[in-house]
Structure 1
Amino acid sequence: MATTHDRPATREQVPFRVRTADGDTVDLSYSSPRSAETHDEMAVLESLPWFESGKPLKNWMLHETDFYDEVEQIWGQRWGAEGIGTLLEVLVSRPTVNEIRDEYAREWQYYYSSRAGNADLGRLQAQFDEYYAVLEQHGVRVNYIEAPVPAIGTYGYLKNLVTLAGGGLVVRGGAIVHRMGLGSWQRGREVIWSKVLTALQVPIYLTIHSRGIGEPGAGRWLDSKTFVFNESVVANEEGLRQIEFVLNGLGIEMITTHSPGWVETTNDGNWGTSHADMFLMVPDHGVAVLAPHLVNYGFVQYLMRNDWKVIEVPPDEYWGLACNAVTLAPGRVVMNAGSPAVVDRLGREGIEVIQVDFSESHNFAIAGLHCATLELRREQEGLSRHV
């Protein structure tokens, strides 16, 4: 069974700290659901179904309480961004000099960048700020990371600290944290993002480990019970097994697709692809924007068999990155400026498209709007909206 209580209007931040063996002090805070000033312990006990005065706690009732049913009371929010319901809360990171180092332009294939050279930091920041403003204008709570500068990891500089989809997959109460496969220059970002998730009180279900590789934060939802991720340079068999284990335990089906990669050259990003959000976007119920040349035909068959309306991305529009758009709510998306044929088709389906110029991001990484966004919460069917 599950028990819920009225959500307090505010939570009380109670400071605490960690003193390390090296003598350092780390200041933290605990978000308490109850105010110390007004707390009445006996009144709380009397409200609990597993309490009976003079008897042991009815432990079996705790065993029957679903984690998701109490995550908001314990952890502060009903975390989870599964499906395409109204987007409520995200995590982002504004670009810094971490993204424009000379080495990236010199070895652009190694850093999965473009031969165009480095981005202009001022223009890059302005475009990211415009995107963040669009999110806030549509009622999305935006949490910001101020990234460490410089960020240097085990294998050199940490790059793409702005591609927050790499922070993890937040689903039905908690997060799956990545183990990176796209680049060794990613490894170490997960330390930063795990600390941020913990600071926001997002539970971490799993960090992909052993020989597993998986970056599911850049996957796609067909609906709140069906998740799409691809075996590719960003996921191997063991990583997919670990992701699926968690999702299946949450009552979610994972559809594994397959995408080509590269060996000697990325051909400016035109050979193979990385994540599912580079070939698929779901702007409304039963509608898929798809780049079919980057996914196995079995997935196309799956969509057709289940009566999906597929909007195919023309090859000459692919780098408009329509597939990397962010669904704000069913029937409303924010998309990189461009892709006129796709935008026209979406309009004919009654889908509102909000376009922002995100072109400068192509000069430091092959990345778009969804890449830049870690979705923390979406409105779920049958659940009230909490902001």
Structure 2
Amino acid sequence: MTQIRGKENEPLADRRRSHGFAVTEYDAHQEVLRQRDWKLADVPFYKGKGAEHDPFAWNDFDYLDTYRQIYGRRCGSAGIGTLREVGITRPSADDEYSNHPYFHEDKAYMNRDGFFLLSDVVDVEKLKDEAAAFAEKFEENGVKVYWIEYPEKPIAAFGPMMNMHSAAELAIWPGGSIIPKKGYALAPTAGLGRAEYLARWAFWNLGIPPLITVTGTGVWVTGTFLADDVYCQGMGVETNWEGLNQVTPVLKRVCGEDIHVQPIRTPGWKYFDKYTGANTHGGMVISGLDIDKVLVHAAGVDID
């Protein structure tokens, strides 16, 4: 393997690398498969010696039926069932807004969606403590926690990345991830590169491949499930109809054609309105708590 080197012909520091080539769960699964005594009987549609085989049988073979055999695990959530695994980003000094060069160049531009509501400074140590406590509670309740770490000073498409503590924008549905295309104020620094890193991390470390990347003029961020067959999508500056139309066919393929997709036309033109609480993230205005029990922020939803 060729070692990538810096300007002075020195190897990159460990913290600047996006991944180390460590043994993953996929590698462990591969090792288990190597020990198996494989027979043609393990192959779908094999009918035995001399039998006529239908070359089109594989056309109807669902990817979800074999996904677990390839990667050694199931993945994704669709509904409000029991949480079993979760990925949490490990906060670092790079999460400090006031360290970002654009923040000093034009604070009003960076804050036009009201991100810095209480303070211009992020207490990174407190953020680390809260993330650790959050993970501890998950583990106490039987949820497996994976820590996601970014390289030192990660770069997005248009400059230094920010808001790395937010991992939920990478939707993980049955069979893989959905890479969104951001459309709000901080898209240049937080939205064009962050989800791509998360998708790369999930594929390499956990065997979760991308199912689709939102492209063209579509913008989309993940919505929220109220049940196995009910999905709500906030519409606004974060998601437009082109984006939803790209993602909906994938949603139906992995969750079933009968799933109901309910658009929520969020009021206003901002990502977040600090006076009303309106938010273009569907999960911030409606959330399924239990069967027949939903939490709603009424000011943030329409009446459709």
Aligned mates of 2:45, 2:235 — CA distance in 1: 45
Aligned equivalent of 2:45, options 36, 44, 50: 50
- The equivalent of 1:172 in structure 2 is 174
Q: TM-score, normalised by structure 2?
A: 0.80
Give identity over the alignment, percent.
Answer: 23
- Equivalence for 1:260: 267
**3-state SS in 2 of match to 1:209:** coil
**Aligned partner of 1:279 among 277, 282, 285:** 285
- Which deviates more from structure 2 when the two are superposed, residues 45-54 or residues 93-102? 45-54
| Contact 1:177–1:207 (8 Å) recurs in 2 | yes
Distance change (3 Å), C-alpha of 1:95 and 1:266: same
8 Å CA contact 2:276, 2:299 repeated in 1: no
Q: CA deviation at 1:19?
A: 9.2
Deviation (angstroms), 1:137: 1.1
TM-score normalized by structure 1? 0.64
The SS at the match of 1:161 is coil
CA distance in structure 1 between the aligned counterparts of 2:252 and 2:33, rounded to whole angstroms = 39
Mapping for residues 4-43 of structure 1, pairs under 5 Å: 27=21, 31=27, 32-33=29-30, 35=32, 38-41=35-38
For residue 226 of structure 2, what is the aligned residue in structure 1?
222
**Which stretches in structure 2 are left out of the alignment for 5+ residues?**
5-10, 12-18
Flag structure 1 segments of 5+ consecutive residues without an equivalent.
1-16, 299-387
Q: Distance in 2 between matches of 1:238 and 1:28?
A: 39
Query: Which structure features the higher share of strand residues?
Result: 1
With over 3 angstroms needed to count, the CA separation of the structure-2 counterparts of 1:177 and 1:18, relative to structure 1, is farther
Q: Residues 133 and 211 from structure 1, CA distance in 2 versus in 1: closer, same or farther, beyond 3 angstroms?
A: same
Change (3 A) 1:212 1:88: same
1:231 aligns with 2:238: no
How many residues were matched structurally?
273
Whole-angstrom distance in 2 between the partners of 1:261 and 1:92: 31
Q: Deviations over 1:56-109 (max 9, x none)?
A: 764333223222222111122121211011001111101111211314484452
Comparing 253-262 with 105-114, greater Cα deviation is found at: 105-114
2:92 match: 96
Q: How has the CA–CA distance of structure 1 residues 121 and 19 changed in structure 2, closer, same or farther, with 3 Å as cutoff?
A: closer
Deviation at 1:40?
A: 2.5
Take 2:72 and 2:269, find their aligned partners in 1: how far apart are those partners? 43
Q: CA deviation at 1:209?
A: 0.6
Task: Give the match's secondary structure for 1:185.
Answer: helix
- Higher RCO (C-alpha under 8 Å, 6+ residues apart): 1
Cα distance in 1 for partners of 2:275, 2:197 equals 27
Measured in 2, the distance between the counterparts of 1:259 and 1:72 equals 37
SS in 2 for 1:59: coil
TM-superposition CA deviations, 1:139-194 (whole Å, max 9, x none): 11111111122122232221111111112x21122211111112222211122112
Counterparts in 2 of 1:107-186, with a 5 A limit?
107=108, 109-110=111-112, 112-115=114-117, 116-167=119-170, 169-182=171-184, 183=186, 184-186=188-190
Asked whether the equivalents of residues 88 and 140 of structure 1 are also in contact (C-alpha less than 8 Å), the reply is yes
Offset at 1:244? 1.1
2:186 matches 1:189? no
The answer to whether the Cα contact below 8 Å between 1:50 and 1:59 also exists between their aligned partners in 2 is: no
Q: Secondary structure at the match of 2:84?
A: strand
Match of 1:192, SS state, is: helix
Distance (Å, rounded) in 1 between the aligned partners of 2:42 and 2:272:
61
Q: Give distance in 1, aligned partners of 2:63 and 2:35.
A: 26
Q: Give the equivalent residue in structure 1 for 2:56.
A: 60
How far apart, CA to CA, are the structure 1 residues paired with 2:247 and 2:2? 32
Give the superposed CA RMSD: 2.8
Deviations 1:258-306 (A, max 9, x none): 102346x9664646413011111211011011001111112xxxxxxxx
Conserved 8 A contact 2:225-2:232: yes
2: CA distance between counterparts of 1:242 and 1:143?
A: 29
In 2 relative to 1, CA 68–19 (structure 1 residues): closer, same or farther, beyond 3 Å? farther
Which residue of 2 is the match for residue 359 of structure 1? none
Q: 1:18 to 1:284 in 2, by over 3 A?
A: farther
Work out whether residues 272 and 280 of structure 2, in 8 Å CA contact, stay in contact via their aligned partners in 1.
no
2:137 aligned counterpart, secondary structure: helix
Tell me if the contact between 1:100 and 1:118 (Cα under 8 Å) persists in the aligned partners.
Answer: yes
